[in-house]
């Protein structure tokens, strides 16, 4: 039979076009749910399929809390992420998996009904379907045409009597409908085929569900829809952020993170982090000193992603159709990664590729032809990769593999097989495979896995570099100093700077300043990091963005003292207070202001009443003492720029014991 013959029939204005289907049954336990899979064009999807949030049910149907929550569409996600950020990206391959649609009966008031009711009046079947082996069933407003020994068939429904509720794929459907309704689509897009699974919840279609299963539901059909809808949406968990970072090929920062990682387990190179040092599998968070499960790691995928976003300072457009936001996005990409310079400098690699802003103006910002622009096309993404490797990868690798506490720890990991040995390959296994391997090893797993993980975890408790909040603050300071010290094109200068910067970090580490509970003074009991990164009362770590910023600021101040070989902190603070100090000490004035605010809780007891003047004296004295710890590390330097030596030390106490 020619399928076109089966589709030719007199028109019935209230029925959908008859479309081919494949039928199947999902029957694992006592229940059987029939389904029918077909194809719909984008135009048909827009006209014929409905969102569950628009399901016309009586208020007495009493949707449960979890159902009400899952019925709601996140329209920002639909319009910004799916339509503009995915479907309208010309350089991106697009594909959606099948929608699941329940064909639900409506009563005379067009409210959800309890059953499909009497047979409808579909258009007559063509001759090819009106004879054996084909059989037609009218299940209320649904017409099914099937053959006993075939999985092939045809389906149509009365749009007045049937509500085609999309119970899985609501956000995909909403995005497709938004795309079509916006107009200006070519015929090839409108005729795109979408896979759709139809459910007809009636025994005549093959449904078999024990009556007791939905005895509490006044409407059995609604009860079935509820359960299927909830289960489908509950099971459809969002992709873990760490996995998205490792797989996303469109986001600049995700691609940059992958430029830092070795491509395979056991691979150790000079310009990439071995995977054995990075937490990328199993419940990844930003923290990498959270017990033995994170024993060998010096960072995590989530933390690297957060740091890369912080360092690059790329500004994705809040509205991809707003020219000002798009231009700001392009400018931020150029500032951080210099993609157009790299394109121009490598004509063989980027043949015919114009400057990024020229491309955007031509294809996205022309009057009357505006298109949303929220990410870089392929050639510019590759240029962004090149830019990150050239300008930023050396900073990350130099610190994470060359800074003394990391360098020494990596050797301990290597000695225990965490880079290219048994421990590294074990930790890369899925959790079930790990369990099977542990069982196979038996008692040997203690020496192979448990003991080295415990030993490595204990090595990371004492020092700040193994805390996520410090690592992010350290890289923020590193990026600030790099930007203000070396021209991006001066690769030799960058290497010299990185050597100096690591030398500074090593010096303050050797001095003990980077111990979490380092003393403010060598002979005192007050802790240096009180107020800055520790809560003075409980001596616990402050885990927030403000702490990241304060760590960044303190490292900046220490660096300026160290780099300029200053011997008196008071003289340095006086220089910072001058009007044009930012030219010599970028961000130093803000640093002093924020650090001083944080020190108030460290110098004043919880029940102590003191004047503002006394509080300011104590804060200043404590800040001077903190900076003096680095002043002692450098040889004396002569006074410069007219700064007074200021030999007198503050008289107020720098700490509250």
User: pLDDT (tens digit, 9 = 90+) per residue, 593-614?
Assistant: 999 999 998 888 877 888 999 9
Residue 266 lies in a domain: yes
228 and 253 fall within a common domain: no
CA nearest 225: which of 199, 251, 263, 197? 199
Residue 481 lies in a domain: no
47 and 112 fall within a common domain: yes
Q: What is the pLDDT of residue 239?
A: 65
H-helix or E-strand spanning residue 172: helix 170-181
Alpha helix positions (H), 15-127: 42-48, 65-71, 75-76
Share of the chain above pLDDT 70, in %: 89
| Spatial distance between the Cα atoms of 509 and 420, rounded to a whole number of angstroms | 28
- Contact at 8 Å (CB) between 563 and 633? no
| Spatial distance between the Cα atoms of 301 and 521, rounded to a whole number of angstroms | 36
CA nearest 101: which of 163, 155, 43, 154? 163
Give the residue numbers spanning the domain of 123. Answer: 3-235
Q: Write out the two tokens for 153.
A: 């068939």
Q: What is the pLDDT of residue 424?
A: 92
Domain boundary, last residue among 200, 235, 270: 235
Residue 509 lies in a domain: no
DSSP code string of 524-592 = --SBTTBTTTB-TTT--B--SHHHHHHHHHHHHHHHHHHHTT---HHHHHHHHTSTTHHHHSTTHHHHH
Phi then psi for 376, rounded to 5 degrees? -80, 140
428 and 533 fall within a common domain: no
Which of 327-331, 576-580, 604-608 comes out lowest in average pLDDT?
604-608
| Spatial distance between the Cα atoms of 276 and 265, rounded to a whole number of angstroms | 7
Q: Bridge partners of 153?
A: 21, 146
User: pLDDT (tens digit, 9 = 90+) per residue, 256-313?
Assistant: 999 999 988 888 999 999 999 999 887 778 788 888 888 999 999 999 999 999 999 9
pLDDT at 12 over 70: no
168 and 47 fall within a common domain: yes
User: Does the CA dihedral 410-411-415-419 come out positive or negative?
Assistant: positive
User: pLDDT (tens digit, 9 = 90+) per residue, 91-121?
Assistant: 778 899 999 999 999 988 888 888 999 988 8
318 and 261 fall within a common domain: yes
| Spatial distance between the Cα atoms of 173 and 181, rounded to a whole number of angstroms | 12
| Spatial distance between the Cα atoms of 296 and 417, rounded to a whole number of angstroms | 10
Residue 229 lies in a domain: yes
pLDDT at 640 over 60: no
User: pLDDT (tens digit, 9 = 90+) per residue, 21-47?
Assistant: 999 999 887 789 999 999 999 999 999
| Spatial distance between the Cα atoms of 308 and 306, rounded to a whole number of angstroms | 6
Q: Bridge partners of 112?
A: 106
Domain boundary, last residue among 220, 235, 250: 235
Buried b (16+ CB within 10 A) or exposed e, 412-440: ebbebbbbbbebbbbbbbeeeebeebbee
Total residue length of the chain: 657
User: pLDDT (tens digit, 9 = 90+) per residue, 375-419?
Assistant: 898 899 999 999 999 999 999 999 999 999 999 999 999 999 999
331 and 292 fall within a common domain: yes
User: pLDDT (tens digit, 9 = 90+) per residue, 415-466?
Assistant: 999 999 999 999 988 888 889 899 999 999 999 999 999 999 999 999 999 9
Spell out the long-range contacts of 4-12 with Cβ–Cβ below 8 A and sequence spacing 24 or more: 5/126, 5/127, 5/128, 6/126, 6/128, 6/129, 6/145, 6/154, 7/126, 7/154, 8/126, 9/123, 9/124, 9/125, 9/126, 10/123, 10/124, 11/123, 12/121, 12/122, 12/123
SS3 state at 160: coil
Residue 642 lies in a domain: no
SS3 state at 264: coil
- Contact at 8 Å (CB) between 399 and 406? yes
Q: Bridge partners of 92?
A: none
141 and 223 fall within a common domain: yes
Residue 208 lies in a domain: yes
Question: Span 460-488, mean pLDDT?
Answer: 96
CA nearest 189: which of 272, 56, 90, 282? 90
Mean pLDDT of all residues belonging to the chain: 87
226 and 281 fall within a common domain: no
38 and 155 fall within a common domain: yes
pLDDT at 622 over 80: yes
442 and 526 fall within a common domain: no
DSSP code string of 269-311 = -SSSB-GGGEE-SSS--S-S-SSGGGTT-SEEHHHHHHHHHHH
| Spatial distance between the Cα atoms of 179 and 175, rounded to a whole number of angstroms | 6
**163 Cβ neighbours under 8 A, 6+ residues apart:** 50, 55, 56, 103, 104, 105, 106, 112
Q: Write out the two tokens for 622.
A: 């404590």
- Contact at 8 Å (CB) between 605 and 593? no
Q: What is the dihedral of CA 639, 643, 647, 653, to 10 degrees?
A: -130
| Spatial distance between the Cα atoms of 207 and 452, rounded to a whole number of angstroms | 56
Domain boundary, last residue among 458, 476, 504: 458
Residue 401 lies in a domain: yes
195 and 290 fall within a common domain: no
| Spatial distance between the Cα atoms of 629 and 521, rounded to a whole number of angstroms | 8
- Contact at 8 Å (CB) between 41 and 194? yes
158 and 296 fall within a common domain: no
User: pLDDT (tens digit, 9 = 90+) per residue, 54-83?
Assistant: 877 654 444 554 444 455 678 888 988 899
pLDDT at 216 over 90: no
pLDDT at 645 over 50: no
* Number of domains within the chain: 3
Radius of gyration of the chain (CA): 33
pLDDT at 643 over 70: no
Residue 653 lies in a domain: no
For every residue of 408-452, which 3-state class applies, written as one string?
HHHHHHHHCCCCCCHHHHHHCCCHHHHHHHHHHHCCHHHHHHHHH
Exposed / middle / buried, residue 402 (Cβ in 10 Å: 0-12, 13-18, 19+)? middle
């Amino acid at each position: 039979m020619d399928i076109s013959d089966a589709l030719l029939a007199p028109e019935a204005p209230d029925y959908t076009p008859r479309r081919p289907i494949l039928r199947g049954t999902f029957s694992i336990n006592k229940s059987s749910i029939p389904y029918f899979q077909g194809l719909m064009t984008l135009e048909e999807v827009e006209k014929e399929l409905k969102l569950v949030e628009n399901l016309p049910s009586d208020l007495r149907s009493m949707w449960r809390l979890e159902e009400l929550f899952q019925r709601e569409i996140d329209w920002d996600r639909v319009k910004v992420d799916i339509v503009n950020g995915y479907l309208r990206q010309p350089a991106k391959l697009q594909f959606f998996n099948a929608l699941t649609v329940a064909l639900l009966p409506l009563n005379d008031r067009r409210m959800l009904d309890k059953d499909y009711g009497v047979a409808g009046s579909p258009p007559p079947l063509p001759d090819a379907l009106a004879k054996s082996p084909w059989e037609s069933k009218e299940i209320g407003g649904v017409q099914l045409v099937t053959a006993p020994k075939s999985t092939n068939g045809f389906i149509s429904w009365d749009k007045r009597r049937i509500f085609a509720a999309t119970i899985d794929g609501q956000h995909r459907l909403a995005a497709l409908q938004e795309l079509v309704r916006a107009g200006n689509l070519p015929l090839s897009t409108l005729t795109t085929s979408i896979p759709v699974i139809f459910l007809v919840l009636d025994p005549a279609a093959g449904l078999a569900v024990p009556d007791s299963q939905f005895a509490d539901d006044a409407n059995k059909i609604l009860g079935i829809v509820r359960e299927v809808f909830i289960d489908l949406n509950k099971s459809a968990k969002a992709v873990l952020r760490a996995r998205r970072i490792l797989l996303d090929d469109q986001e600049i920062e995700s691609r940059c993170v992958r430029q830092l990682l070795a491509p395979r387990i056991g691979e150790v190179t000079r310009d990439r982090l071995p995977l054995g040092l990075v937490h990328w599998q199993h419940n990844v968070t930003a923290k990498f000193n959270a017990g033995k499960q994170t024993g060998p790691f010096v960072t995590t995928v989530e933390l690297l992603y957060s740091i890369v976003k912080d360092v690059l300072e790329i500004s994705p457009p809040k509205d991809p159709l707003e020219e000002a936001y798009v231009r700001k996005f392009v400018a931020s990409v150029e500032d951080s990664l210099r993609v157009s310079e790299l394109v121009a400098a490598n004509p063989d690699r980027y043949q015919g590729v114009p400057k990024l802003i020229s491309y955007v103006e031509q294809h996205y910002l022309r009057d009357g032809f505006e298109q949303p622009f929220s990410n870089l096309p392929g050639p510019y993404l590759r240029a962004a990769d090149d830019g990150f490797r050239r300008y930023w990868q050396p900073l990350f690798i130099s610190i994470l593999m060359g800074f003394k506490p990391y360098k020494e720890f990596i050797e301990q990991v290597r000695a225990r097989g965490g880079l290219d040995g048994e421990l590294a390959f074990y930790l890369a296994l899925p959790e079930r495979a790990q369990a099977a391997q542990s069982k196979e090893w038996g008692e040997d797993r203690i020496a192979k896995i448990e003991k080295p993980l415990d030993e490595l975890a204990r090595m990371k408790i004492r020092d700040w570099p193994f805390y996520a909040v410090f690592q992010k603050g350290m890289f923020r300071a590193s990026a600030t100093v790099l930007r203000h010290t070396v021209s991006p094109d001066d690769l030799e200068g960058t290497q010299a700077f990185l050597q100096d910067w690591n030398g500074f970090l090593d010096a303050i580490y050797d001095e003990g300043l980077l111990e979490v509970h380092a003393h403010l003074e060598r002979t005192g009991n007050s802790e240096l990091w009180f107020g800055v990164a520790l809560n003075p009362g409980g001596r616990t770590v402050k885990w927030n963005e403000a702490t990241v910023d304060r760590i960044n600021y303190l490292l900046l101040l220490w660096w300026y003292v160290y780099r300029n070989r200053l011997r008196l902190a008071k003289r340095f603070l006086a220089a910072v207070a001058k009007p044009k100090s930012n030219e010599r000490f970028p961000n130093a004035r803000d640093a002093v202001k924020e650090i001083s605010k944080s020190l108030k809780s460290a110098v004043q007891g919880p029940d102590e009443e003191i004047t503002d003047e006394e509080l300011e004296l104590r804060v200043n004295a404590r800040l001077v003492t903190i900076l003096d710890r680095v002043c002692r590390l450098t040889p004396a330097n002569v006074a410069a720029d007219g700064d007074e030596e200021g030999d007198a030390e503050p008289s107020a106490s720098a700490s509250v014991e």
